[in-house]
A and B are shown apart, each in its own frame.
Chain A
Amino acid sequence: MPAERRGSGVLAQSVGLPLAVLLGLLVLWEICVHLFSIPVYLLPAPSLILMDSIGNLGTLGLHTLATLKTVLLGFFFSVAVSLPLAVVLTSSQSAANAIYPILVLTQSIPKIALAPILVILLGTNELPRIVVTFLVAFFPLVIAIATGLMAVPGDLLELGRSYRGSWLQMMWRIRLPYAVPMIFSGLKVAVTLAVVGAVVAEFVNADAGLGYFIITSTAFFETPLAFSALILLSLMGILLFQLVVLIERLLFPWSAANADKTFG
């Protein structure tokens, strides 16, 4: 596997180099801001963003937690709905015919446009935000899981049938395990989209959360804080993505090994 092959020199290259480039860009940014005396409300210097972030750690923390809660709940529901939905979708042609068009329809509705309507429908509480997050995340997940379940080679299914496997056994012992790598690539996409969904929902209706915080900060031209929220959102996306990767490595090492072969 790549980690074993990489010596410390290669590690320095693969981690150190992008880090150095990033640092260089930040320094360049800092210099440009001072050099051209760009006003703070237009583009704050990285050092100022850092200082303002530290000064507002408590507030930022609360908003981060609020967004994280929406993201996790929306993501959880998208997984809870997509898995059985994909199983039903792939179990028969008539089920696919019945569900698939509705699925595409929900996906073709712009979620940002839907958010205000959901607020009227569900009230000014957390629910519309979770629903928007769910709607954004679940479609690619259903498609990934359904694709995985359908990708099982015919002879593997024939093998199962030759041992008189029931529908449930075929699903549990052949189809689902076979789909695991594809389910996880779906989960990786879905968790990043869930962050997007939560922020979009917070733009429309929220009294807390990083999306809400960006709206209020920019309204008062507190641009450094808006940048802090932006950075926190990216960090959240990266960490959640890596969490999914970690879970895959721990629970399904063979699947992660396959992914390494394809993408590593």
Chain B
Amino acid sequence: MIRIDNVSRLFHSRDGGIVHALAEVDLEIRDHEFVSIVGPSGCGKSTLLRLVSGLLPPSSGSIAIDGRTVDGPREETGFVFQSPTLLPWATIEENLLFPLRMLRRPVTPAAQRTARELLALVGLTGFERRMPSELSGGMQQRAAICRALMHDPGILLMDEPFGALDALTREEMSLELLRLCAERPKTILFVTHSIAEAVLLSDRVVVMSPRPGRIQEIIDVPLERPRSFAMEGHHEFQDCAQRIRALIFGSRDRDELARAG
């Protein structure tokens, strides 16, 4: 379980000012829950993810995973970045083994088998010896997701993982992620710009508002699993998407009214 307790994060901007990226965020994420974070740019989504990953320390408040405070990157979490961030000099297989080497775990035949199984799961069988530059953007991001799963973390933190992909590949990847979650249950914290993606994938959607970034509302998605794109027509899906959209754009309208007034 991830427990985010009254967390704030400040940044010092270059001109000496202080930016409140996050203010007093409280959130609990249960094991094997899929939680998406949506909100306009600058609402601190990525910052929240980096705080949970331990890449950034909070300015105040605390984050705990299974009762242990996060004070640096932990082996229980795997991170997927917006760009694939594969090592351009290493084969796909070597890229998948990279986490094990960094964590000083032995690279056994079993580990290599795991790598091949993960690649097979995302349809990349036969690409083990290829270089990242030989793969398309979608394939690279698939490999990056496999890499994050290599050391078998319980928690997957995904920072707009499909943000740099075209719309079709994006839908395909969403389905693959659903399949992956069904086969290897993980706790997933997923940052996205896409409301439809958030509703389709998540158990709960956290809607955030900017300046300072805070949680506006948390919306339960009552759709049963397994999910599919056919559900986009369901009224539960439409309701959720509508409410999220209203929260995001409603607040933006209010902001603009306030600024105008």
Residues of A within 8 A of B (CB): 153, 155-156, 158-165, 169, 173-174, 177-178, 180, 252, 254-255, 258
Are A159 and B89 touching (Cβ within 8 A)?
no
Interchain CB contact (< 8 A) of B102 among A158, A160, A177, A252: A160
Are B73 and A173 touching (Cβ within 8 A)?
no
Is B226 close to A, CB under 8 A? no
Are A163 and B103 touching (Cβ within 8 A)?
yes
Report whether over half of chain A's contact residues are helix, strand or loop; otherwise say mixed.
Answer: helix
Measured between alpha carbons, how far is A165 from B103 in the docked complex, in Å? 7
Are B85 and A177 touching (Cβ within 8 A)?
no
B90: chain A residues at CB < 8 Å are 177
Measured between alpha carbons, how far is A177 from B87 in the docked complex, in Å? 9
Interchain CB contact (< 8 A) of B101 among A159, A173, A254: A173
20 A-B contacts (beta carbon < 8 Å): A153-B85, A155-B81, A155-B82, A155-B83, A156-B85, A159-B81, A162-B73, A162-B79, A163-B73, A163-B151, A164-B72, A164-B73, A164-B102, A165-B102, A173-B101, A173-B102, A177-B90, A178-B89, A252-B89, A254-B89
Are B85 and A159 touching (Cβ within 8 A)?
yes
Are A155 and B101 touching (Cβ within 8 A)?
no
Measured between alpha carbons, how far is A155 from B73 in the docked complex, in Å? 14
Given contacts A159-B79, A180-B89, contact A164 B103 (CB under 8 A): yes
A159: chain B residues at CB < 8 Å are 79, 81, 85
Known contacts A156-B85, A174-B87; 13 further A-B pairs (Cβ under 8 A): A153-B85, A155-B81, A155-B85, A158-B81, A162-B53, A162-B73, A163-B73, A163-B151, A173-B101, A177-B87, A178-B89, A252-B89, A254-B89
Closest 6 CB pairs of A and B: A163-B102, A162-B79, A155-B85, A162-B73, A254-B89, A177-B89
Is B98 close to A, CB under 8 A? yes
Measured between alpha carbons, how far is A58 from B104 in the docked complex, in Å? 57
Measured between alpha carbons, how far is A77 from B184 in the docked complex, in Å? 53
CB distance from A262 to the nearest CB of B (A): 13
Residue of B nearest to A254 (CB): B89
Given contacts A162-B73, A163-B99, A164-B102, contact A156 B53 (CB under 8 A): no
Interface string of B74-89 (1 = CB under 8 A from A): 0101010111010111
Measured between alpha carbons, how far is A258 from B131 in the docked complex, in Å? 12
Residue of A nearest to B79 (CB): A162
A164: chain B residues at CB < 8 Å are 72-73, 75, 102-103
Interface string of B130-168 (1 = CB under 8 A from A): 010000000000000000000100000000000000000
Are B89 and A169 touching (Cβ within 8 A)?
no
Interchain CB contact (< 8 A) of A173 among B82, B83, B88, B98: B98
Is B120 close to A, CB under 8 A? no
A160: chain B residues at CB < 8 Å are 102
Residue of B nearest to A255 (CB): B89
A174: chain B residues at CB < 8 Å are 87
Are B102 and A254 touching (Cβ within 8 A)?
no
Is B182 close to A, CB under 8 A? no
Interchain CB contact (< 8 A) of A156 among B79, B87, B151: B87
Are A161 and B89 touching (Cβ within 8 A)?
no
Are B55 and A158 touching (Cβ within 8 A)?
yes
Residue of B nearest to A156 (CB): B85
Interface string of B40-81 (1 = CB under 8 A from A): 000000000000011100000000000000001101010101
Most buried by A among B79, B89, B98: B89
